[in-house]
C-alpha cells in the first residue's frame, strides 16, 4: 500500500458513571483516533492513552505530538507499507507504545479492508463469541459496590473484577463473596498500589478463592512479584509489567506471574500482543484481554484478539453501554455473557459519521 495521509482526531466521550482506580477517577475519555488513508483503503486505530500520565508515562497530548512529529513522517518514508512493516519502521523510537499501537492498528485495518480479510482471521481467532467480564471501580461504600455488582451479574457478565487499593480491599471482597457466593468468578486489580511490605495483608485475600490479583506491585518490580508469589496463595497476574513478548517470557521464567493480562496498546499493538499470547501458550500460562475504556473501534480489535485459543479467561471486553451512552460505532451488545467477534473486513466496524461529528473536538490532517 501507499500512504497518502493520516488524520488525527480527538473525540470527547463522557462515561456513564465515574470509573475510579487506585491512580485516579475518570469521568470522560479524551480519545485520540488515527485514520490512515492509502491508495487502497482507509483504516482506523484508537490510541488508549489517558489524559494524564498516571496509568503509564503516555498521555493523549504526547501521543498526538509523537505521531505528528516522528511516527507518521517515518512511516510515510517507509519503502513498504503493511501492518507487519509498521513495528520495524518505528523501532528506532523508544517507547510510545500506545501511539505506535494506534498507527499499526489503522494500517492493519486498511490492509485487511483492502484484502477483504477480518482482524480476527488475521490474528488467528478460533471463536465466534468471546466470554466477557466487567471491571468495577472503587466505590464510596460497600452497599454501592454490591448494588453495582448485582447489576452486572444480572446483565450476564461472567466474571467480576474489583479495583482495589489500601483501605479498599479485604472488606469489599469479603462483602461480594458473602453476597454472591463462591461460584462467581472474582478477581481484583491493584494497579501497582501495594509494596512487598503489604504481603501479609494481601494474603488475607487468599481465603476468598480469587482467580487472581492483578499487578499488586510497581511495574518495574518483577522480582518483587516473584517473591510475593511465594508468600501468598492467590495467583498473581501481571499487567503494567508486561510490555513485550520478551518481558512476558522473563516474568514467567522468574515465577513472577501465573497469568498475564494482554493490553495491545500497552505493548505496541496487536501483532506484539499475539506474540505475547504465543509465548504464554508455550509456557502453559493463561492470558486474558484487558481493557482501557475503549470505544467500539478499540473494542472490535480487542474482541478479535480475545478469540485466540490461549485467551481462556473472560477479559475486560465489556459491552459498549458499560462505559458510553452512545458509542461511535454500532454498539457491542452482551448476549449470554458473550460478545460476537466481528467478521467483516478489517476491524469489521467503522465510526458512525453523525455520532463521530458530534463528539469530535479537533481534527488534524497530515499529508504524506
Question: How many angstroms separate the CA atoms of 289 and 319, rounded?
Answer: 14
DSSP class of 91? T
Active site residue 163: yes
Residue 140, C-beta contacts closer than 8 angstroms, at least 6 positions apart: none
Question: How many angstroms separate the CA atoms of 127 and 236, rounded?
Answer: 27
Q: Tell me the H-state helices in the chain.
A: 60-66, 72-76, 83-89, 97-115, 119-123, 142-155, 170-180, 199-202, 222-229, 245-254, 264-267, 270-282, 296-306, 353-359
Question: How many angstroms separate the CA atoms of 233 and 236, rounded?
Answer: 9
Phi, psi (5° rounding) for residue 78?
A: -65, 140
Active site residue 161: no
Write out the three cell numbers for 313. 479467561
Write out the three cell numbers for 248. 512476558
Among 94, 100, 161, 263, the active-site one is 263
Phi, psi (5° rounding) for residue 95?
A: 65, -145
Burial grade of 106 (CB within 10 A; 0-12, 13-18, 19 or more): buried
Active site residues: 163, 263
Amino acid at each position: 500500500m501507499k500512504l497518502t495521509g493520516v488524520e488525527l482526531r480527538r473525540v470527547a466521550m463522557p462515561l456513564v458513571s465515574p470509573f475510579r482506580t487506585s491512580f485516579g477517577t475518570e469521568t470522560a475519555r479524551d480519545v485520540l483516533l488515527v485514520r490512515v488513508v492509502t491508495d487502497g483503503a482507509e483504516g482506523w486505530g484508537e490510541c488508549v492513552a489517558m489524559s494524564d500520565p498516571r496509568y503509564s508515562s503516555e498521555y493523549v497530548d504526547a501521543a498526538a505530538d509523537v505521531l505528528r512529529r516522528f511516527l507518521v513522517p517515518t512511516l510515510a518514508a517507509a519503502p513498504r507499507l503493511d501492518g507487519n512493516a509498521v513495528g520495524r519502521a518505528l523501532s528506532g523510537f523508544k517507547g510510545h507504545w500506545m501511539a505506535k499501537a494506534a498507527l499499526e492498528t489503522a494500517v492493519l485495518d486498511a490492509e485487511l479492508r483492502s484484502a477483504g480479510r477480518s482482524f480476527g482471521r488475521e490474528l488467528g481467532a478460533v471463536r465466534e463469541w468471546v466470554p466477557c467480564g466487567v471491571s468495577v471501580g472503587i466505590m464510596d461504600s460497600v452497599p454501592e459496590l454490591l448494588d453495582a455488582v448485582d447489576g452486572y451479574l444480572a446483565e450476564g457478565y461472567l466474571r467480576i473484577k474489583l479495583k482495589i487499593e489500601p483501605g479498599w480491599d479485604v472488606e469489599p471482597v469479603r462483602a461480594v463473596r458473602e453476597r454472591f457466593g463462591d461460584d462467581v468468578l472474582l478477581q481484583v486489580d491493584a494497579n501497582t498500589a501495594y509494596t512487598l511490605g503489604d504481603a501479609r495483608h494481601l494474603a488475607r485475600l487468599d481465603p476468598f478463592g480469587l482467580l487472581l490479583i492483578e499487578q499488586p506491585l510497581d511495574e518495574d518490580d518483577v522480582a518483587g512479584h516473584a517473591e510475593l508469589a511465594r508468600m501468598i496463595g492467590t495467583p498473581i497476574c501481571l499487567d503494567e509489567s508486561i510490555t513485550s513478548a520478551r518481558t512476558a517470557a522473563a516474568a514467567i521464567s522468574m515465577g513472577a506471574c501465573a497469568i498475564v493480562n494482554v493490553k495491545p496498546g500497552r505493548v505496541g499493538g496487536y501483532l506484539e500482543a499475539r506474540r505475547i499470547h504465543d509465548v504464554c501458550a508455550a509456557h502453559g500460562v493463561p492470558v486474558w484481554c484487558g481493557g482501557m475504556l475503549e470505544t467500539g473501534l478499540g473494542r472490535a480489535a480487542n474482541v478479535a484478539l480475545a478469540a485466540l485459543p490461549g485467551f481462556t479467561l473472560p477479559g475486560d471486553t465489556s459491552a459498549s453501554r458499560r462505559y458510553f451512552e452512545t458509542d461511535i460505532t454500532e454498539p457491542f451488545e452482551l448476549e449470554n455473557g458473550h460478545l460476537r467477534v466481528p467478521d467483516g473486513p478489517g476491524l469489521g466496524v467503522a465510526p458512525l459519521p453523525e455520532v463521530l461529528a458530534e463528539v469530535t473536538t479537533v481534527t488534524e490532517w497530515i499529508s504524506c
